[in-house]
Chains A and B, each alone.
Chain A
Amino acid sequence: MTNPMHDEHHDHLGSKMGMWLFIFTELFLFGGLFLVYAIFRSKYGEDFHHAAEELNVFIGTLNTVVLLISSMTVAMSISAIQKGDSGRAIRLLLLTIVLALVFMVNKYFEWGHKFEFKLYPGSPVLGNLPKGELLFFGLYFMMTGLHALHVVIGCVLLGITIPKIAKKQITSERYTFHENAGLYWHLVDFIWIFLFPMMYLIT
């Protein structure tokens, strides 16, 4: 229910603070998994080393670049809205979503490839691997899966932003929602920046 009184006390700084706090909780959510990763890595260093070699570094790198560019486009769309250029802001947001889709398509092929080799949790092939490799793939699917879910949520947020700009609910005067959606998108990017080296590069 919209109570007109509430709109009066619109608080840009307060809303942004709320978003930052929410981002903290997301970091703690992933933090739990990073902790588990650290513990098992120290316990099964060698197995993690072997398992990580199975991952496709090329797709991983490509996806990192794609996400970094998408973070840039989202930042550019916020600059555009600050300057009052809503057309440009919308185009940049659309570009961001396209990049997110590219990321997801790559992810699909990557996961599909793993499934082809029966490297998924609960499969008989995985069950015969050493325990550390088993855990590595468990963590790999859980962490990248949870991250992919966040990509989808981020896309939805950006998707909601676009009509709001079109309807002039987001303007150069008032763009808190847009900025918060952007912040969330940076979070998605940020988590990937840590996932990528931990999964693909440290072998």
Chain B
Amino acid sequence: MSTSETHAQVSYLEHQGKYKGILGWLTSTDHKRIALLYMYSMLVFFSVSAILGLLMTIEKAAPGQDIMTAQQYNGFFTIHGVIMIFIIVIPGLAAVFGNFALPIMIGARDVAFPKLNLFSWYLYIIGAILGVLSQFAGDGPPDTGWTFYVPYSAESSTNVIFALTAAFVLGFSSILTGLNFIVTIHRMRAPGMTFFKMPLFPWSLYATAWIQLLATPIIGITLLMVIAERVLHIGFFDPALGGDPVLFQHLFWIYSHPAVYIMILPAMGVVTEIFPTFSQKPVFGYGAIAISSLAIAFVGYFVWGHHMFTSGISYWSRWFFSFLTFIVAIPSAIKVFNWVSTMYGGSIDMKPPLLYAISFIFLFMIGGFTGLTLGSLATNIQLHDTSFVVAHFHYIIFGGMGFAFFAGIHYWYPKIYGRMYSNRWAYIGWGFLFTGFNLLYFPQFIIGIQGMPRRYFDYLPEFQWGHFLSLIGAIILLSGFIIMVSNLIYHRRKGAIAPANPWKGVTLEWQIPSPPPVENFDEIPTITRKPYFFGKD
């Protein structure tokens, strides 16, 4: 749909506010513009961090020192982790697609607190810049790993305080986004849209927002305690001063395990939108998917101990945490069954978003099953701190959340820019990404079982084949990423004009023009039936 006759129809991309150009974007409280601000900043930080990752893979392609020193390597994996976890995947889907699609999908003109939303982005940028600066400023890049384990993080002479502060500020931004979404979902749903008439992406954001709100403060105070330990010598975690280092691990994982669900729940929400649309069939088990999001969010709070099986926690607590780890897999599996059943008997249209969504299931399953391997007490002892763990969480985080992000951007792209990308290049990009991804991470499972430790700069020659395959995979993966991004960037202005509803979707965002007008709706729609009604039963 082209731009328009009346004022209300001006697209958010072209709308002229008080300021022009870039300033108009930096001061805009429009949720759609803020979503794109997040996306562009993430693209920049992701590229930085991906290059760090590639350099690490190159370093490990052959045993011994190749292109960097051991200390540099420690700095690289720390910053790679801090950027990827705190700057990309934790805010990731919620900040980009949540901001863009949530208000439209529930029939609202914006989020509940638009100014706070913009403020969250500024906090995010401050935190992100601090994180990247820690690599360059002061006494050298932090070398503690993104987990900041004491006692090393309290003693390391590197720039740890910068990174801790960055994580703290980013956490605050995440809390405010969560708060905003909860109030938006409670207060701004269109008339007639009860909770159980709400599409499932907002449901997953709702569950995510509660975790953001209730878990993030714990990491905030924990990071402050480490800062206090470094600056004021208060020894909460220092045995010499009466403290307890294992206490840090507890406090850290009380947040950081639920944080995994902050990453994956919105990803599940995105693919839940994609399956019904490209199968032209109502989602299978709407209630089960909605409730399993909340179940994951709830049970996810009580499994943090499975990161600490080898840290010397008691027998019974290990048993308890292992058991709950298996329990939390159930709602995730329920979702997988629902997605597959949604496709069953549907008229499947294998467009790029669906292809990415299906690869999400595939990779997420591998990540999930290897998670159970790690959650079992006996195998955990063998696999703890090996590259098996590295492979596992990359399958979950990159294969899960990353591929869901790619699925989401291909799904909402026509809505965001009002243009179509080239399907051909999207398929080619997918082929590279999928092949490269598996080639990069799968060998790490095998050499991990054989005993390759994680975070090691050097290794025994028998692991070389795995690291070498990883390097080839990394190069293919990065080429795929470049192809995908170029396709999207190029067609942003040059692509064919997108119709309002290119995928025959039924949720509200497809019922308004592409790109959406500034305030989304001329008239707020009234909702009378369940979502995912494709005109047949």
Contact = CB atoms under 8 A, between A and B. Distances in A.
Interface in B169-219: 175, 179-180, 182-183, 186-188, 213-218
Interface string B469-492: 000000000000000000000000
A17 interface: yes
B222 A21 contact: no
B221 A32 contact: yes
A18 B183 CA distance: 6
Interface string A27-65: 011111101100110001000000000000000000000
B225 A142 contact: yes
Contacts of B234: 121-122, 138, 141-142
Interface string B230-258: 00111110000111100100010000000
A22 interface: yes
B222 A32 contact: yes
Nearest to A39: B247
A116 interface: no
Contacts of A30: 221
B220 A29 contact: yes
A135 interface: yes
B49 interface: no
Interface string A7-19: 0010101110110
Contacts of B218: 28-29, 31-32
B214 A18 contact: no
Given A14-B186, A32-B221, A121-B233, A25 B243 contact: no
Nearest to B233: A122
Contacts of B224: 142, 146
B187 A25 contact: no
A122 B232 contact: yes
A132 interface: yes
A142 B29 contact: no
A6 B29 contact: yes
Given A24-B213, A25-B217, A131-B241, A18 B179 contact: yes
A6 B112 contact: no
A1 interface: yes
Contacts of B242: 40, 44, 131-132, 134-135
Interface residues of B, number: 45
Which size bracket describes the interface of A in this complex? 35 or more
Contacts of B109: 5, 9
Contacts of A14: 112, 183, 186-188
A3 B32 CA distance: 15
A15 B187 CA distance: 10
Interface in A115-153: 121-122, 131-132, 134-135, 138, 141-142, 146
- Residue among B27, B110, B225, B241 with the most chain A CB within 10 A? B241
B149 interface: no
Given A11-B112, A17-B186, A135-B235, A22 B221 contact: no
A5 B217 CA distance: 33
A18 B112 contact: yes
A134 B112 contact: no
Interface string A156-180: 0000000000000000000000000
B251 A32 contact: yes
Contact of A18 (B19, B113, B243, B519): B113
B235 A134 contact: yes
A121 B235 CA distance: 9
A25 B171 CA distance: 11
B225 A36 contact: yes
A31 B183 contact: no
B17 A135 contact: no
B216 A25 contact: yes
Contacts of A132: 242
B327 interface: no
A1 to B, nearest CB: 5
Given A18-B113, A22-B179, A32-B217, A138 B519 contact: no
A146 B188 CA distance: 35
B372 interface: no
A25 B215 CA distance: 8
B228 interface: yes
Contacts of B217: 25-26, 28-29, 31-32
B229 to A, nearest CB: 9
B18 interface: yes
Interface in A45-94: none
Contacts of A31: 217-218, 221
B525 interface: no
Contacts of A18: 112-113, 116, 179-180, 183
B28 interface: yes
Contact of A138 (B236, B244, B247): B236
B233 A17 contact: no
B140 interface: no
Contacts of A36: 225, 236, 247, 251
Contacts of A134: 235, 241-242
A84 B30 CA distance: 34
Contacts of B179: 18, 21-22, 25
Nearest to B214: A28
A25 B228 contact: no
B499 interface: no
B53 interface: no
B451 interface: no
Given A35-B251, A142-B234, 4 more contacts: A17-B183, A21-B182, A30-B221, A32-B220
28 contacts: A1-B18, A1-B27, A1-B28, A1-B29, A3-B17, A3-B114, A5-B109, A6-B110, A9-B109, A13-B187, A15-B113, A17-B182, A17-B183, A18-B183, A22-B175, A24-B214, A25-B179, A28-B214, A31-B217, A32-B218, A32-B221, A32-B222, A32-B251, A40-B242, A121-B232, A135-B241, A135-B243, A142-B225
Interface of B: 17-19, 27-30, 109-110, 112-114, 116, 175, 179-180, 182-183, 186-188, 213-218, 220-222, 224-225, 228, 232-236, 241-244, 247, 251, 519
9 closest A-B pairs (Cβ-Cβ)? A131-B242, A32-B221, A138-B234, A122-B233, A28-B217, A29-B217, A14-B187, A121-B232, A121-B234
